[in-house]
Amino acid sequence: MIDIEASEFCQEVENEAKLCGSYIEAVLLVCEQARLEPAIAAKLLSLPIIEKIQAEGINFNLLPKKSELPV
């Protein structure tokens, strides 16, 4: 396992996401490059990246859609 700081990890994820177009895929690619398990890498992710991953999960029907009450 390569030592990597959270800010460096997040920057790598952002760079990969621009290239491949998916934050989920970007996290997995950076994990593979840094030889990190995704469960460990999850602790290194920033809140904006987590939110983008959640949005992708909802769009890809991997996560349930949030219920919203009509206004």
Q: What is 31-57 written as a DSSP string?
A: HHHHT--HHHHGGG--HHHHHHHHHHH
Residue 63 · residue 28 · CB < 8 Å: no
pLDDT over 80 at 13, yes or no: yes
**Residue in this structure with the two tokens 């009450």, named with its chain if needed:** 69
Residue 2 · residue 34 · CB < 8 Å: yes
- Give the C-alpha separation, 69 to 4, whole Å: 42
Displacement of CA 10 from its chain's centroid (Å):
9
pTM of the model: 0.82
pLDDT tens column, 31-67: 999 999 999 999 999 999 999 999 999 888 888 887 6
